[in-house]
Amino acid sequence: QVQLVESGGGLVQPGGSLRLSCKVSGFALDYYTIGWFRQAPGKEREGVSCSRRSDSNSYYSSSVKGRFTISRDNAKNTVYLQMTNLKFEDTGVYYCAADPAPYDVVDCIPNLPDFGSWGQGTQVTVSA
C-alpha cells in the first residue's frame, strides 16, 4: 500500500526557514518521480518542486527557485523540502506527491497535483 506522510510544517516569521519531510512506504522511492505542491486558501494547487526519478535532477517553480531545495534519501525512503527566506505568499498546505512516470523539466511541475499518490499535507504559515 502506497503511503506518504508529511511533517515539519508550522508557523514561521517572514525570512525564516522550515524543512518539510515526506516519509514514503509501499514503494521504492528511487523508482518514482517525487515532488511537492501546495494549496493556499481560495487558490488552486501549485506545483513547487520536483525530483526526477532517473537522475534526481530537481526542478522548481519560479516563485520558489533560489529559496527552496528538494532532496531525497532513497535509503530512508524520505524526501525533504528545505525552505528558506519564507514569504507571506508561501503560506498553505504542502503536499508530497509521487508517481512512477518519468517526468521531465517541462511537465513535472505542472503535473504535480495530478500525481498518482500524495499525502495528507502539512500546514505552513508565514506570519509576523
At 52-92, the pLDDT tens digits run 886 778 999 999 999 999 999 888 999 999 999 999 999 99
How much is the pLDDT for 106? Answer: 83
- DSSP symbol at 116: S
Q: Comparing C-alpha atoms, which of 53, 57, 61, 62 is closest to residue 113?
A: 61
Question: Taking residues 8-37, what's their average pLDDT?
Answer: 95
Residue type, 110: P
How much is the pLDDT for 67? Answer: 98
Cα–Cα separations (whole angstroms), residue 59 to 24, 41, 49, 80, 120: 20, 24, 5, 14, 22
How much is the pLDDT for 53? Answer: 80
Whether 35 and 97 have beta carbons less than 8 Å apart is answered as: yes
Residue type, 100: P
Question: Taking residues 20-43, what's their average pLDDT?
Answer: 93
